Structure 1
Amino acid sequence: MEVVEVETSVVVPAEPTKRGRLFLSNIDLTLVAYHESVAFFLPKPVPDPFPEVEKTLKTALTRLLVHYDFMAGRLAPTPAGVLEIDCNDAGVVVATATASCSLEWLGELMMPKPEYKELVKHLVGHLNKKNMEDKPLLLLQLTRFQCGGHALACLCNHCTLDGIGIRTFCANLAACTLGKDLLVPPNPDRTIFKARVPPKISYPHHEYSKLSPQELSPFSIPGECHADLFMHDGAILTPSSVFIPQSKIDAMKSQVLAAGKLKKVTDFHVVAAKVWKERSLAIGMPDDCTSTMLFPVDVRRHMSPKLGPGFAGNALVPGFACATVLELKSQGLSFCVEKVQEGLERLDEEYIRSGIDWLEVNRGAPRVVDSFSVVAWTKIGFGEEDFWWGKAECLVPVELKPGLVMLLPGDEGSLGINVCLALPNEQMKAFCQLMVLE
């Protein structure tokens, strides 16, 4: 697949916005890195001319950025060296391109693939600038396929929005392409997540790690992610997925409930627990090593006052489950699920505020030692929006990162979950074999 650039431009708000600085919480500051995703749109029976699609996207963005002015801003340090967003209307980058093939050539769209890097290739060069003040926080590439279908790829600095915020941004963008008002006006005020004065650390925070001086870079390029010590440096990673049908998920839930200790179990509980156990074994962690699995938890409803649906920031904090590898080996799936549930239940408001204060004191990041993260996109809800040029079919990560496991919906018409990750070849083989065992 060859993707040829048509045009790249900078889109700014349709009218001047109020200048100022936007406070970033300690949760935001652990996520100053770019996230890459791509949405696919099947062709209409009679595709619209590509220049009209491009014009519609840019016009909608100019309207949307009046409300999301911070997305058109740039990162800048305070005198104390803490990053904020300078809301300066510098704009977002939009590239348009054409692909040499049809969408069908890509096959099943829900799985991250190396070919998807082509769908962001005309964006990444804009992040090579030396000064963080020159790096856009949002970059979009709209690619037209020969069949008339489209891909809209996004490079978004994660400090601006979490997954739920991005989902709302996309819904508002879709509405703007149709000439409608915003569905949910954004509220980017993150002051509810300010650290207390003085900080009060009430709990140990196993989910975070202190960073070495070499790791204290204030700005990251796309896709930086910690790789486990047991994933050998320099090893070629094999991206793959394991499909877990709904029948197997239901069987695992029944098995866990039959153990008699837990009263309620969700699909996420059992799939995450299964992944945690089998991945820890597949990568060869020693029995006495503590394996930690992180998973983002939406805490909008945990705060007082509760955050409304328009909150535009990061309100996902890492829950965690940890146990020794020997415990994972010797205990049943019910034990692993119990640990996952404990990770969710400990996140009351005091624990969340204690974690924010821990980050204030230690300037750390989500745990990187003997750990990995599971992120579920099974209920993200994207794919319901009608854009001017068509209905969004799916939203997919561009690629799989070391230390990250993605839970994605099954293929269209099939109930179940695709477990997607990247490991060295032999470890991947072992993981896939373990995942299909009862």
Structure 2
Amino acid sequence: MVAILASYTVTPKEETPKGFLWLSDNDQLWRWSHTPLLYIYKPNHNNVDVHVLVETMRGSLGQILVHYYPLAGRLSWTKGCRLELDCNAKGAVLLEAESTKSAVELGDFSPNNESVKELIPTVDYSRPIEELPLFVAQVTRFHGSNVIAIGILWSHPLGDGSAAIHFINSWAKLTQGRTINANELPFLDRTVLKPPSHQPSRRFDHREFKPLPLVLGKTDNIEEQKKKTTFAQLKLTPIQVQKLRKNANKNAKSQRQYTRFEVIGAYIWRCASKARRELKENQPTAAKLNVNIRNRLNPPLPERYFGNALAPTVTPTCYVGDIISRPLSYTTQKIREAVERVSSNEYLRSQMDFIAKKERWDSIRTPYLERGEYRADVPFFGNPNIILGSWMSMPAYEADFGWGKPLHFGPGAVCPYDRAMISLRPQEEDSHGVDDVVVFLHFQEAYMQDFIKFFWEDIRESSCSTQAKL
């Protein structure tokens, strides 16, 4: 369906610092592979010349890499199985492509769609890690229309979602011919997260790095790892979100109102517990979260810190019967407790100390499971548990390359375990500044339809299509 017309290795347009860049303990937690993202655009003018577009993007990518020069480098391993970054300016990769299908023929942009995979560039992981580019972008023009897809591969050890979106938005801004202000430039020195020499030994019991509950009667999660996952995108209007919050807060013991993320995360956890019909009421279950800590440390991280600034945390272990039968406030409070666990500087520094002293990284590093590779000694977040994440602070729809804001933004692949990312999407009509909430859900295929049924069960408004119309 998609033909690659040209491939460019793009290096910084100016001389950049060379040598090895220390990666923090937070950078070590994530899979060393790439995160796939997909943007869809429909420029408001006809006869778009994709070659001219790519040439413009190629020039602006070289410009932005001057400021984000780590992205032009390559990863390598140290003796202690830590990742480090060689700032060797070998460059990022930009691909020009053309689809023989029209956007209408493609159907939708869900990662379940096999054709969508061709819109995402690929990396050959059989090659040594020192040869793998850290940023790859593919610009695809659809046949018979001016619809443009931009598929992104982003190396997670280089930065979290906030870092990735800020880079992509800055690249888009330069592509328009605009300038980047000094206060928009990234802060690249990760040694601000280095533990001080006088830091005491770990003081907390870090449950977030312990194995999550197994399905009752099982001794490992290998069987669950083998089950196929699928994807759904669910959109909540501001009115629907407000209804859920009102439901959660009316029985809340806390005087502080629950946030959108806490309530929606709790609701997702409850729907997942209902959908997994085989689970017994006394089945232990937990939700794992990754929390942005940029403003939770003392002192806070510098503005525009470029790197991974996420802390894993986990809810108290609950029972499926309680999650299903008790008020939504019960589950929402468990989500809040997980967030509050990583709200103190002391706990976060203790967590970093724990990571730094870890001898076996496989036991805590987020897995990247190749097809056919199933291991009991790596983390698995699926049935009977779930992982929750927030993209709500990420301005993904600000990535305007000169063709207007994207019609679609979302993941470019299906996650191999149960995971829900909660994001925001600006409403098309005037919404008085209130965005829709979008849930990017990865869930075991056998239970997905039941999940969707239960998801809408308590929400009276019918769900609207979340796919962009072309």
Using structure 2 for the length normalisation, give the TM-score.
0.81
Question: Which secondary structure does the structure 1 equivalent of 2:285 belong to?
Answer: strand
Which residue, out of 350, 369, 377, partners 2:391? 377
List per-residue Cα deviations over 1:241-274 (Å, max 9, x = no partner). Answer: 4444433322221122221413302221111001
1:159 maps to a residue whose letter is P
Alignment of 1:5-84 (within 5 A): 5-31=4-30, 32-84=32-84
Partner of 1:239: 231
Q: 2:348 aligns with which of 331, 340, 352?
A: 352
Unaligned 5+ segments in structure 2 are 213-219, 367-378, 430-434, 459-470
- Tell which deviates more after alignment, 385-394 or 16-25: 385-394
* Equivalent residue number for residue 430 of structure 1: 450
Q: State the shift of 1:109 in Å.
A: 4.8
Aligned to 1:269: 262
**1:296 Cα offset (Å):** 2.2
CA 142–255 in structure 1, closer or farther in 2 if over 3 Å, else same: same
Q: Quote the Cα distance in structure 1 between the aligned partners of 2:232 and 2:223.
A: 16
- Which residue identity does 1:407 align to in structure 2? I
Distance of 1:204 and 1:165 partners within structure 2: 29
> Which piece of structure 1 moves more, 234-243 or 34-43?
234-243
Structure 2 partner of 1:335: 330
Structure 1: which 5+ runs fail to align? 212-227
For the residue of structure 2 that corresponds to 1:139, the secondary structure is strand
| Cα separation, 2, equivalents of 1:11 and 1:393 | 27
Change (3 A) 1:166 1:65: same
The question of whether the paired residues in 2 share the 8 Å contact of 1:110 and 1:411 is answered with no
- 1:182-229 deviation per Cα after TM superposition (whole angstroms, max 9, x unaligned): 241111211122245466222122222479xxxxxxxxxxxxxxxx93
Aligned to 1:218: none
Name 1:207's counterpart in structure 2: 208
Q: Which residue in 2 is equivalent to 1:163?
A: 161
Amino acid at match of 2:176: L
Q: How many residues align?
A: 418
Equivalent residue, structure 2, for 1:151 = 149
In structure 2, the CA distance between the partners of 1:199 and 1:151, relative to structure 1 (3 Å rule), is farther
Alpha-carbon RMSD? 2.7
User: Which residue of structure 1 lines up, in the alignment, with residue 301 of structure 2?
Assistant: 307
Question: Tell me, what secondary structure is at the counterpart of 1:304?
Answer: coil
Partner of 2:188: 188
Call closer, same or farther: CA 1:424–1:409 in 2, change over 3 Å. Answer: same
User: Residues 112 and 398 of structure 1 are in contact (CA less than 8 Å); yes or no, is this contact kept in structure 2?
Assistant: no
Identity %: 25
Does the CA-based 8 Å contact 2:111-2:117 persist in structure 1?
no
Decide which moves more: 310-319 or 230-239.
Answer: 230-239
Instruction: Give the letter aligned to residue 135 of structure 1.
Output: L
Worse-matched range after superposition: 301-310 or 26-35: 301-310
CA distance in 2, matches of 1:96, 1:421: 30
Counterpart pick for 1:326 among 316, 321, 326:
321
Local SS of the residue matching 1:392:
coil
Supply the AA of the counterpart residue of 1:435.
Answer: F
What is the alpha-carbon distance in structure 2 between the residues aligned to residue 105 and residue 231 of structure 1?
Answer: 36
**Cα separation, 1, equivalents of 2:95 and 2:270:** 42
Instruction: Look up the match of 2:421.
Output: 406
Asked whether the equivalents of residues 20 and 87 of structure 2 are also in contact (C-alpha less than 8 Å), the reply is yes
| Amino acid corresponding to residue 77 of structure 1 in structure 2 | W
User: What is the one-letter code of the residue matched to 1:140?
Assistant: A
Which structure shows the higher strand fraction? 1
The 3 A distance-change label for structure 1 pair 265 and 105 is: farther
1:388 aligned onto 2:387: no
Does the 8 Å contact 1:41/1:150 carry over to 2?
Answer: yes
Q: Give the aligned partner of residue 221 of structure 1.
A: none
Q: Is the 8 A contact 2:42 2:403 kept in 1?
A: no
Task: Provide the C-alpha distance between the structure 1 equivalents of 2:202 and 2:270, rounded to a whole number of angstroms.
Answer: 30
Contact 2:287 2:387 in 1 (8 A): yes
**SS of alignment partner, residue 359 of structure 1:** helix
CA distance in 1 between partners of 2:353 and 2:39 (Å): 36
- The one-letter amino acid paired with 2:419 is L
Q: Secondary structure at the match of 1:116?
A: helix
Distance 2:427 2:340 in 1: 33
TM-score by length of 1: 0.87
Alpha-carbon separation, structure 2, partners of 1:274 and 1:338: 12
Deviations 1:307-364 (A, max 9, x none): 2332110112223323232331342211111111111222211111111111122232
Aligned 8 A contact 1:239 1:423 in 2: yes
After TM superposition, give the deviation of residue 106 of structure 1 in Å: 4.2
Task: Tell whether the 8 Å contact from 1:256 to 1:262 is kept in structure 2 after alignment.
Answer: no
Which residue type is aligned with residue 179 of structure 2? Answer: D
More divergent stretch after superposition (345-354 vs 249-258): 249-258
Map Cα deviations across residues 410-434 of structure 1 (whole Å, 9 max, x no partner).
6954864343324344312222232
